Amino acid sequence: MDATRIKQILSSSADIEVTYNGASVWIDMLNEDGKTATVHLRGPLEERSTVEITELQEI
């Protein structure tokens, strides 16, 4: 995925499914470097991770 698409997803009111290593995640923000994003797993756990945006996949 690229930074432009992540910005579109973040500004969208739609529920757009995104996965990281096969797990469904929410994108919290695109980081300032434009190459990483902060995400957390969908569900009760709120643990956040910083991941390379190229590893995110839109379903």
pLDDT at residue 4 above 90? yes
Reported as type and span, the H/E element at residue 34 is none
In this prediction, residues 1-22 reach a mean pLDDT of: 96
- CA 24-5-3 angle, to 5 degrees, is 100
Give 13-55 pLDDT, tens digit per residue. 999 999 999 999 999 999 999 999 999 998 887 789 999 999 9
Q: Specify the pLDDT at position 44.
A: 80
Contacts of 28 (CB under 8 A, 6+ apart): 37, 38, 39, 40, 48
The CATH fold of domain 3-58:
SH3 type barrels. (2.30.30)
Please say if the pLDDT value at position 56 is more than 90: yes
Contacting residues for 40 by C-beta, under 8 A, at least 6 apart: 25, 26, 28, 46, 47, 48, 49
CA–CA gap between residue 57 and residue 25 (Å, rounded):
10
